[in-house]
Amino acid sequence: MYIVENYLTAVIFCVITMICWGSWANTQKLASKTWSFTLFYWDYSIGIVLLSLLFGITLGSQGVDGQGFFENLLQSFPKILMYALIGGIIFNLANLLLVAAIDLAGMAIAFPIGIGLALVLGVFINYLPQPEAYNSFFLFAGVGLVTIAIIINAIAYKRISKGGKSTKGIVLSLVAGLLMSFFYRFVADSMSPSFANIEAGTLSPYTAVFVFSIGIFLSSFVFNYFFMKRPISGDVVSFADYFKQGNAKLHLTGVLGGVIWCLGMLLSIMSGEKAGYAISYGLGQGATLVAAIWGVFVWKEFKTSPKGTNVLLVFMFLSFILGLTLIIIAKNS
Backbone angles phi, psi at 61, to 5 degrees: -125, 5
pLDDT (mean) for 167-192: 92
Residue-wise pLDDT tens digits, 49-106: 999 999 999 999 998 899 999 999 999 999 999 999 999 999 999 989 987 787 777 6
pLDDT tens track for 13-35: 999 999 999 898 889 888 877 88
* Residue 188 CA neighbour count, 13 Å, CB half: 26
CA torsion, points 80, 84, 90, 94, in degrees to nearest 10?
160
pLDDT, residue 285, reads 85
| Predicted pLDDT at 306 | 87
Per-residue confidence band for 305, with pLDDT thresholds at 50, 70 and 90: confident
* DSSP label of 203: B
- Rounded-to-integer distance, Cα 234 and Cα 34, Å: 11
Mean pLDDT value across the chain: 91
pLDDT of 11 reads 96
* Paired strand residues for 203: 191
In this prediction, residue 331 carries a pLDDT of 93
Instruction: Please state the domain extents for the chain.
Output: 7-328
Q: Which amino acid is at 164?
A: G
pLDDT above 70 (res 165): no
C-alpha distances (whole Å) from 212 to each of 42, 89, 119, 285, 322 are 16, 8, 19, 18, 32
Burial annotation 216-251 (CB, 10 A radius, 16+ → b, else e): bbebbeebbeebbeebbeeeebeeebbeeebeeebb
Tell me the pLDDT band of 295, cut-offs 50, 70 and 90: confident
CA distances from 27 to 21, 23, 94, 102, 289 (A): 12, 8, 18, 12, 17
155 vs 54, which has greater pLDDT? 54
Q: How many angstroms separate the CA atoms of 253 and 145, rounded?
A: 34
Q: Helices 136-158 & 164-189, crossing angle to 10 degrees?
A: 160
Q: What is the mean pLDDT of residues 113-142?
A: 92
pLDDT band at 320 (very low <50, low <70, confident <90, very high): confident
